[in-house]
Structure 1
Amino acid sequence: MSWHNRKKQIQQQVANVFDIPRDLMMDLPKVVLIGDVQVLVENHRGIMIYTPEMIKVSTTIGDLAIAGTDLTLKNILPDEIMVEGRIKSLIFAG
Structure 2
Amino acid sequence: MKKFKNKMRTWVTNKWQLPPDILMDLPRITMVGQLHIYIENHRGVLRFSNQELRLRLKQGQLLIKGDAFVIKTILPEELLLEGRIDQVTYINE
Same fold (TM over 0.5): yes
Aligned-residue Cα RMSD (Å) equals 1.1
Q: Deviations over 1:5-24 (max 9, x none)?
A: 33212101101222221101
4+ long deviations beyond 4 Å = none
What is the letter of the counterpart of residue 40 of structure 1? Y
Give a deviation string over 1:7-51, Cα, whole Å, max 9, x none: 212101101222221101011111111111111110000001110
Query: Normalization by structure 2: what TM-score?
Result: 0.92
Q: Which runs of 5+ in 1 are unaligned?
A: none
The amino acid of 1:58's aligned partner reads: R
Aligned to 1:84: 82
Match of 1:19 among 17, 20, 34: 17
SS of 1:88 mapped into structure 2: strand
- Give the aligned residue type for 2:32: I
> Percent identity among equivalent residues?
30
Segments of structure 2 that go 5 or more residues without pairing to the other structure are none
